[in-house]
Copies of this chain bind each other. A is one copy, B any other.
Amino acid sequence: MLLHTFFLLSILLSTSHASVQDFCVGDLKGAEGPAGFPCKTPATVTSDDFVFAGLSEAGNITNIINAAVTPAFVSQFPALNGLGLSAARLDLGPGGVIPLHTHPGANELLLVSKGHITAGFISSSNNVYIKVLKKGELMVFPQGLLHFQIAAGKRNAIAHAIFSSANPGLQILDFALFASNFPTPLVSKTTFLDPVIVKKLKAVLGGSG
Protein backbone atom coordinates (compact mmCIF):
# COMPACT_ATOMS: atom_id res chain seq x y z
CA MET A 1 0.00 0.00 0.00
CA LEU A 2 2.92 2.28 0.60
CA LEU A 3 3.98 2.03 -3.00
CA HIS A 4 0.71 3.04 -4.49
CA THR A 5 0.54 5.98 -2.17
CA PHE A 6 3.89 7.15 -3.44
CA PHE A 7 2.71 6.51 -6.94
CA LEU A 8 -0.47 8.48 -6.60
CA LEU A 9 1.26 11.32 -4.83
CA SER A 10 3.93 11.73 -7.46
CA ILE A 11 1.53 11.60 -10.36
CA LEU A 12 -1.16 13.73 -8.80
CA LEU A 13 1.27 16.39 -7.76
CA SER A 14 2.90 16.62 -11.11
CA THR A 15 -0.28 16.75 -13.16
CA SER A 16 -2.52 18.64 -10.81
CA HIS A 17 -2.80 21.72 -12.97
CA ALA A 18 -2.46 20.10 -16.34
CA SER A 19 -6.02 19.03 -16.85
CA VAL A 20 -7.83 22.26 -16.15
CA GLN A 21 -8.53 22.94 -19.78
CA ASP A 22 -10.23 19.63 -20.59
CA PHE A 23 -13.18 21.99 -20.54
CA CYS A 24 -13.83 25.65 -19.92
CA VAL A 25 -17.41 26.06 -18.75
CA GLY A 26 -18.14 29.72 -19.38
CA ASP A 27 -18.44 32.16 -16.51
CA LEU A 28 -21.02 34.48 -18.10
CA LYS A 29 -20.29 37.16 -15.52
CA GLY A 30 -16.68 37.35 -16.65
CA ALA A 31 -15.51 39.54 -19.50
CA GLU A 32 -16.10 37.88 -22.87
CA GLY A 33 -13.17 37.88 -25.30
CA PRO A 34 -12.68 36.88 -28.91
CA ALA A 35 -12.35 33.21 -27.91
CA GLY A 36 -15.29 33.20 -25.48
CA PHE A 37 -15.89 33.63 -21.77
CA PRO A 38 -13.47 32.99 -18.89
CA CYS A 39 -13.72 29.48 -17.42
CA LYS A 40 -15.60 28.70 -14.23
CA THR A 41 -13.24 27.38 -11.57
CA PRO A 42 -13.04 23.65 -12.39
CA ALA A 43 -13.61 22.74 -8.76
CA THR A 44 -17.08 24.28 -8.88
CA VAL A 45 -18.11 22.50 -12.05
CA THR A 46 -20.59 19.63 -11.63
CA SER A 47 -22.40 17.22 -13.93
CA ASP A 48 -25.25 19.70 -14.14
CA ASP A 49 -23.03 22.18 -15.98
CA PHE A 50 -22.70 19.78 -18.88
CA VAL A 51 -26.41 19.21 -19.36
CA PHE A 52 -29.00 21.57 -20.88
CA ALA A 53 -32.73 20.97 -20.82
CA GLY A 54 -33.79 24.19 -22.53
CA LEU A 55 -34.58 22.52 -25.84
CA SER A 56 -36.88 19.91 -24.28
CA GLU A 57 -39.97 22.06 -24.56
CA ALA A 58 -41.48 23.46 -27.76
CA GLY A 59 -40.95 27.16 -28.41
CA ASN A 60 -43.98 29.41 -28.51
CA ILE A 61 -45.26 29.47 -32.09
CA THR A 62 -48.20 31.80 -31.48
CA ASN A 63 -46.87 34.45 -33.83
CA ILE A 64 -47.06 35.54 -37.45
CA ILE A 65 -44.53 33.00 -38.66
CA ASN A 66 -46.15 30.13 -36.79
CA ALA A 67 -42.68 29.07 -35.79
CA ALA A 68 -40.06 29.54 -33.12
CA VAL A 69 -36.30 29.24 -32.75
CA THR A 70 -34.93 28.31 -29.32
CA PRO A 71 -31.15 28.65 -29.05
CA ALA A 72 -28.69 26.62 -27.02
CA PHE A 73 -25.75 28.90 -27.66
CA VAL A 74 -23.00 29.60 -25.15
CA SER A 75 -25.10 32.29 -23.45
CA GLN A 76 -27.79 29.73 -22.66
CA PHE A 77 -25.53 26.69 -22.22
CA PRO A 78 -22.16 27.87 -20.88
CA ALA A 79 -20.54 24.42 -21.14
CA LEU A 80 -20.28 25.06 -24.89
CA ASN A 81 -17.73 27.82 -24.24
CA GLY A 82 -14.70 27.26 -26.43
CA LEU A 83 -15.96 23.97 -27.88
CA GLY A 84 -16.91 25.13 -31.39
CA LEU A 85 -20.41 23.70 -31.12
CA SER A 86 -23.94 24.88 -30.35
CA ALA A 87 -27.54 23.99 -31.15
CA ALA A 88 -31.03 25.36 -31.60
CA ARG A 89 -34.52 23.88 -31.74
CA LEU A 90 -36.92 24.84 -34.50
CA ASP A 91 -40.65 24.43 -33.94
CA LEU A 92 -42.89 24.85 -36.95
CA GLY A 93 -46.68 24.79 -36.86
CA PRO A 94 -48.60 23.89 -40.03
CA GLY A 95 -47.30 26.28 -42.67
CA GLY A 96 -44.76 27.64 -40.23
CA VAL A 97 -41.82 29.53 -41.67
CA ILE A 98 -38.33 30.31 -40.41
CA PRO A 99 -37.73 33.36 -42.63
CA LEU A 100 -34.55 33.90 -44.64
CA HIS A 101 -31.61 34.30 -42.30
CA THR A 102 -27.89 33.74 -41.93
CA HIS A 103 -25.54 32.62 -39.20
CA PRO A 104 -22.59 34.96 -39.65
CA GLY A 105 -20.25 32.84 -37.58
CA ALA A 106 -20.97 29.16 -38.22
CA ASN A 107 -21.82 26.34 -40.56
CA GLU A 108 -25.11 24.59 -39.81
CA LEU A 109 -26.20 20.97 -39.86
CA LEU A 110 -29.99 20.53 -39.66
CA LEU A 111 -31.57 17.35 -38.30
CA VAL A 112 -35.31 16.89 -38.87
CA SER A 113 -36.75 15.44 -35.68
CA LYS A 114 -40.44 15.35 -36.68
CA GLY A 115 -42.52 15.95 -39.79
CA HIS A 116 -41.38 17.24 -43.15
CA ILE A 117 -39.48 20.44 -43.82
CA THR A 118 -38.74 22.29 -47.04
CA ALA A 119 -35.33 23.86 -46.60
CA GLY A 120 -32.91 25.67 -48.84
CA PHE A 121 -30.03 28.05 -49.19
CA ILE A 122 -28.62 30.40 -51.82
CA SER A 123 -24.93 30.41 -52.70
CA SER A 124 -22.66 33.35 -53.52
CA SER A 125 -23.13 32.32 -57.15
CA ASN A 126 -26.89 32.77 -56.72
CA ASN A 127 -27.57 29.07 -57.08
CA VAL A 128 -30.50 27.83 -55.02
CA TYR A 129 -30.33 24.46 -53.26
CA ILE A 130 -33.74 23.31 -52.01
CA LYS A 131 -34.94 19.95 -50.67
CA VAL A 132 -37.94 18.52 -48.86
CA LEU A 133 -36.48 16.79 -45.82
CA LYS A 134 -38.04 13.90 -43.94
CA LYS A 135 -37.63 12.90 -40.32
CA GLY A 136 -34.09 11.75 -39.62
CA GLU A 137 -32.55 13.48 -42.60
CA LEU A 138 -29.66 15.92 -42.35
CA MET A 139 -28.99 19.02 -44.43
CA VAL A 140 -25.94 21.28 -44.54
CA PHE A 141 -26.11 25.10 -44.72
CA PRO A 142 -22.66 26.62 -45.28
CA GLN A 143 -21.60 29.58 -43.14
CA GLY A 144 -23.07 33.00 -43.75
CA LEU A 145 -25.42 32.06 -46.62
CA LEU A 146 -29.11 32.98 -46.70
CA HIS A 147 -31.33 29.99 -45.90
CA PHE A 148 -34.84 29.13 -44.72
CA GLN A 149 -36.98 26.30 -43.32
CA ILE A 150 -40.71 25.83 -43.94
CA ALA A 151 -43.06 23.17 -42.60
CA ALA A 152 -43.95 20.97 -45.58
CA GLY A 153 -47.48 19.57 -45.64
CA LYS A 154 -50.04 20.49 -43.05
CA ARG A 155 -48.39 18.98 -40.01
CA ASN A 156 -46.18 20.32 -37.28
CA ALA A 157 -42.46 19.84 -37.69
CA ILE A 158 -39.48 19.97 -35.35
CA ALA A 159 -35.82 20.21 -36.27
CA HIS A 160 -32.54 20.67 -34.45
CA ALA A 161 -29.89 22.90 -35.91
CA ILE A 162 -26.29 22.30 -34.95
CA PHE A 163 -23.62 24.96 -35.43
CA SER A 164 -19.83 24.91 -35.76
CA SER A 165 -19.43 27.70 -33.20
CA ALA A 166 -20.54 28.26 -29.63
CA ASN A 167 -21.86 31.61 -30.78
CA PRO A 168 -23.05 31.32 -34.39
CA GLY A 169 -25.07 34.53 -34.49
CA LEU A 170 -28.43 34.84 -36.21
CA GLN A 171 -29.31 37.58 -38.65
CA ILE A 172 -32.93 37.40 -39.80
CA LEU A 173 -33.20 39.28 -43.08
CA ASP A 174 -36.61 40.87 -42.46
CA PHE A 175 -35.66 41.89 -38.97
CA ALA A 176 -32.42 43.46 -40.14
CA LEU A 177 -34.32 45.49 -42.74
CA PHE A 178 -37.72 46.11 -41.21
CA ALA A 179 -37.49 45.64 -37.43
CA SER A 180 -34.48 47.92 -37.05
CA ASN A 181 -34.01 51.67 -37.30
CA PHE A 182 -32.24 51.31 -40.66
CA PRO A 183 -33.43 54.54 -42.39
CA THR A 184 -36.04 53.84 -45.05
CA PRO A 185 -34.25 55.82 -47.79
CA LEU A 186 -31.12 53.74 -47.23
CA VAL A 187 -33.04 50.46 -47.13
CA SER A 188 -34.66 51.43 -50.39
CA LYS A 189 -31.42 52.51 -52.05
CA THR A 190 -29.53 49.38 -51.04
CA THR A 191 -32.32 46.87 -51.80
CA PHE A 192 -34.21 48.47 -54.74
CA LEU A 193 -37.42 48.07 -52.72
CA ASP A 194 -39.91 50.92 -53.02
CA PRO A 195 -39.91 53.14 -49.89
CA VAL A 196 -43.63 52.60 -49.59
CA ILE A 197 -43.14 48.87 -49.29
CA VAL A 198 -40.31 49.35 -46.83
CA LYS A 199 -42.46 51.56 -44.64
CA LYS A 200 -45.32 49.08 -44.75
CA LEU A 201 -43.11 46.21 -43.62
CA LYS A 202 -41.53 48.38 -40.95
CA ALA A 203 -45.00 49.05 -39.60
CA VAL A 204 -45.70 45.33 -39.37
CA LEU A 205 -42.36 44.30 -37.93
CA GLY A 206 -41.74 47.18 -35.60
CA GLY A 207 -38.97 49.04 -37.36
CA SER A 208 -38.46 52.80 -37.45
CA GLY A 209 -36.59 55.38 -39.47
Contact = CB atoms under 8 A, between A and B. Distances in A.
Contacts of A62: 3, 6, 10
Contact of A190 (B64, B135, B139, B148): B148
A157 B196 CA distance: 29
Oligomeric state, in number of copies?
6
14 contacts: A8-B179, A11-B172, A21-B105, A22-B125, A34-B36, A46-B129, A51-B131, A51-B133, A72-B138, A97-B189, A104-B104, A124-B171, A128-B182, A194-B197
B140 A79 contact: yes
Given A19-B124, A85-B162, A99-B190, 14 more contacts: A11-B68, A11-B172, A14-B69, A15-B69, A33-B36, A80-B109, A86-B109, A87-B109, A105-B143, A126-B179, A126-B180, A128-B180, A143-B144, A146-B171
